[in-house]
Amino acid sequence: MTPPEDTSRPALPLFLDLEGRLAFLLGDGEAAKRRLATLRACGAAVRHEAARFVPNMLDGCCIAIGAEAPDAALVAMTDEARRRGIPYNVVDRPALSGFSTPAVVSRAPLQIAISSGGAAPVLSRLLRARIESLVPPAFGRLARLAGAMQPETRARLPDVLRRRRMLEAALGGRVAELMLEGQDEAAEAAYRAALLAAEAGAERPERGIVYLVDRGPGAPDLVTLRTLRLLGEADVIVHGADEPAAILELARRDASRLVVTPGEAVARLAALAAGGAKLVRLSPGPDEGAALRAGGHLCVDVPGVPRAAD
């Protein structure tokens, strides 16, 4: 059966600031309790009614949510909220909702919201689970660093385009990699160095990073989530001639593939890293990491799934 053509209009995605504002919640049961906890976590003051509704309950409210309440009360609430221009939602009732609540991946202050517009909430939750595995918690710390540095960044780089170039290079490069490796102080120092260099007009690229990846037994379904993420982010995949094609297929399409012999691997990796590239070295030799570190290059060992004993 061919899926029906989508004729719906796209919804406007928004994040609503509820700090110190009044929210109305109608309903009882587990779904209502979850919404109550969410509203309070967002800083809202909540006016909560279990089963009844009269119009003045929405006085002063900026949002109205219903869950597991009598239909007559839910319909009355949504009609009154619509009349007043207040955003309203009834859990699992798209026909009674003026907005939908997304599945959320939270890396505070960073949030990723996924919505099907109420058409397939289970699918949204499955997608959230996939994104959860691909977005490490360190991205939240990276966002907090960027937020803390924002006033100084704006002061030193008042030009929007220069500031944007600096932020893209820093947050997508060495600063991010250090944060992902748990080196928060080094990440902050790298951010400050990148900011000062940009202020001085330096065009020199930052040094790259080399991930020394043990891809495990060689089957694509046995690579770690971390390896999968790195293959999707790397600029260059460096590998031997015998690397399984199924593993290489996991890399992003526009990443360069570079075949090296064991004897030339260190020199090629060092040259690419010096130019600022983000590299994945699959199945590295035992001494490659030590040689690269001795040359001043940032290297990260990425273990794989243990191979079965013979």
Q: Strand, helix or coil at 295?
A: coil
Q: Where are the beta strands (DSSP E) in 92-201?
A: 103-107, 110-114
How are beta strands 88-90 and 61-67 bridged, if at all? Answer: parallel
Superfamily the domain 19-101 falls into: NAD(P)-binding Rossmann-like Domain (3.40.50.720)
- pLDDT, residue 103, reads 87
Cβ neighbours of 294 (radius 10 Å): 9
Could you tell me the residue ranges of all domains in the chain?
19-101, 102-135, 138-199, 209-302
pTM of the model: 0.63
pLDDT category, 7, cuts 50, 70, 90? low
Q: CATH classification of 209-302, choosing from 3.40.1010.10, 3.40.50.880, 3.40.190.10, 3.40.640.10?
A: 3.40.1010.10
Torsional class of 138: left (φ above 0), alpha (ψ -120 to 50), beta (otherwise): alpha
Q: Which two tokens stand for residue 24?
A: 């109305």
What's the CATH code, domain 102-135? 3.30.160
pLDDT category, 218, cuts 50, 70, 90? confident
pLDDT, tens digit, for every residue of 84-124? 999 999 998 989 999 988 888 989 899 999 988 777 888 88
- What type of residue is 50? A
pLDDT category, 310, cuts 50, 70, 90? very low
Mean pLDDT of 21-27: 98
Dist CA 256 CA 272 (whole Å) = 11
Separation in Å, CA 168 to CA 32, 173, 196: 41, 8, 15
Mean pLDDT of 61-82: 96
